[in-house]
Chains A and B, each alone.
Chain A
Amino acid sequence: MAGTIRAQYPATIRPIRINCTGRVTPSLMMRAIGKGADGVIVAG
Chain B
Amino acid sequence: MLGSGLLQGLAVTAKNLAGSFHDPTRYVTTEYPEQRTKLPENYRNFPFLVHDDPADPAGTLRCVACQICEKECPPQCIYIVMERDEKGKALKRPKVFDIDISVCMSCQICVEVCPFDAIKMDQEYELATRDRFGGLLLHREDLSKSNEYYHQIHPTEAAGVDAALAEQKAKQAAAKAAKAAPAAPKPAAATRSTTAATPAPSPAAVTSPAPAATPPAAAPVPPANPPPTA
A and B found bound together: no
- A residues touching B (Cβ–Cβ < 8 Å)? none
- B residues touching A (Cβ–Cβ < 8 Å)? none
